Chain A
Amino acid sequence: MERIYNIAESFSATPGARYRTDGKFSGEEFYSTVLKDLFADCLKSGDILKIILDGSHGYATSFLDETFGRLSRDFGVSEVTSNLKFVSLEEPYLVDEIFEYIRNSSKK
């Protein structure tokens, strides 16, 4: 089963930068207040987490790298790539970009 999370609707339409110190709606804030627990819950229940990227004012590289790179470091590349999906109709390239951060996270 899939569980859907829309970042623009449920977190912020103007996602920020990397760290909380950079400003509001940072990648660090999104990860620690939403994504980590949501993903852990999905893993427990066997659901696939589908994240909708559309509808925002744009995503900074630092936000995506911090959020999904950290997810990959905490849960493992294999777990994340197997249980995470994205919908990005407005900017299709974001999906490949995020999976690159997920795969490269172990090198950090």
Chain B
Amino acid sequence: MKYLNTFVTVVRNKAGYFFVVFFIGSIFGFITTRFSYFNFEKDINIIDFTTLVVSTVVGIYIATSVQKSVAVQKSEKDLIIGEINQIKISLNTISNSVVQNNLPFNDTLFKFKIIITSIYDLQQLTLACNINVSEQINEVKNKAIEIKQLITNISPNTENQKIDVSSIQNRCNILFSDLTLNLLKLIIHINKY
């Protein structure tokens, strides 16, 4: 059991993994040369051997570095798309409040501030990840600002401090719909990277 645990620990370590594969390969080579029906040449061609070694090393290097690069890119995209989805959720909250015509003044202002600063943060994040979607993010930002300006230009009701958007509800719904579409286009662009 102790030897089994030691073996498992060695195999889990990458260097140990290669030694184990090399050992198994050597045993296989020994068996096939001793007991096989086919005759194997026992001469070693230096050029072929060198080609084999170099090809193997290059293959391993490409597999590990490319694999790592793909994994990093995927995690960056997932992070960015996660942020976009958070923005979508926050926008949906305001959109629902518009439909219900239930917009507390201070609360709505604060939510818009959070959303728009999140869009600016998203812009910084995509630049840091070398994903060029500035145009798409600017479209999202401008649309969000347009909605905010439309809604917060209306004075709140003096008694309950709520913004009455009944006169602009249709316009707001169209803008929110455009904004949702822009966000989805942004996600599609990011996925193309």
Contacts and interface: CB of A to CB of B under 8 A. Distances in A.
A18 B158 CA distance: 12
A46 interface: no
B117 A60 contact: no
Interface residues of A, number: 21
Given A58-B109, A58-B113, A92-B120, A21 B153 contact: no
A62 interface: yes
Contacts of A90: 113, 117
B175 to A, nearest CB: 14
A19 interface: yes
Interface in B119-152: 120, 141, 145, 148-149, 152
Interface in A68-106: 90-93, 97
Given A17-B105, A57-B106, A62-B153, A22 B158 contact: yes
B177 interface: no
Contact of B141 (A58, A62, A65, A93): A93
A57 B114 CA distance: 9
B155 interface: yes
A14 interface: yes
Nearest to B153: A61
Contacts of A92: 120
Taking chain A's interface residues, is the majority helix, strand, or loop, or is none over half, making it mixed? loop
A22 B106 CA distance: 12
Nearest to A57: B110
A8 B149 CA distance: 20
B99 interface: no
B2 to A, nearest CB: 61
A97 B116 CA distance: 14
Contacts of A21: 158
A108 B167 CA distance: 22
B161 interface: yes
A34 to B, nearest CB: 20
A18 to B, nearest CB: 5
B117 A14 contact: no
Contacts of A19: 155
A56 B106 CA distance: 11
Interface of A: 14, 16-19, 21-23, 56-62, 65, 90-93, 97
5 contacts: A57-B110, A58-B109, A58-B110, A90-B113, A91-B116
Closest 10 CB pairs of A and B: A58-B109, A58-B113, A60-B152, A61-B153, A22-B155, A57-B110, A17-B155, A61-B149, A61-B152, A58-B110
